[in-house]
Structure 1
Amino acid sequence: MNLSSQLSSLEEKLTRLARKFEQLKTQNEQLRLELAARDKKIENLRLNLQEVQESLEKKSGAITVGKPEELAERLERYIQQVDACMEWLQNA
């Protein structure tokens, strides 16, 4: 192989390599954009989840006012009152 053909072959390889480099640069930029969009979406979902959790905590707090022991005592008093009313109705 003479010098001219070796230079030509080297030039072709360099051209292919430069094209491949440009393709990879473009692909890398696209992947970076996709990653940024995904990160933004994850952050939005995280914020939405936090809002839902806070809302749920507020709602569950409204339902169970007080400590579980206090709630059990209140339920027991209500049951006793219902029992007393039923007994009164039976005797009436």
Structure 2
Amino acid sequence: MKLIELQVAIPRTVDAAKSATETLNRGLLQQEHKSETIRKKEKMELKRVNKRASAEESILHTKSQQEKNTTSTSHPFKGQKIDYSG
């Protein structure tokens, strides 16, 4: 090779190396972005499921509390009114 050809070839190899690393990094960045969005979606889904479970648990808890309150105040066999006409 002549000296002039080397002067032209060296900058081209540098440009080719830059474009190759950019291409490689672009794929890595896309993969990282996809994994981050998947992680965010899973986190939101987990929050939604936990919120639903806690809501159901609180509903069950309040229903059981109401049942306890109603059973303790009223007797199943005794009436609420007193019959004085005897």
Structure 1 moving runs of 4+ over 2 Å: 62-65
- Partner residue, 2:19: 18
| Identical-pair percentage | 8
Give the secondary-structure state (helix, strand or coil) at the position aligned to 1:64.
helix
* Cα drift, residue 14 of structure 1: 0.7
Q: CA RMSD in A?
A: 1.8
Q: Return the TM-score normalized by structure 1.
A: 0.62
Aligned pairs, number? 66
Structure 2: runs of 5 or more not aligned:
73-86
CA distance in 2 between counterparts of 1:61 and 1:24 reads 55
Q: Return the TM-score normalized by structure 2.
A: 0.65
- Partner residue, 1:38: 39
Structure 1: runs of 5 or more not aligned:
66-70, 75-92
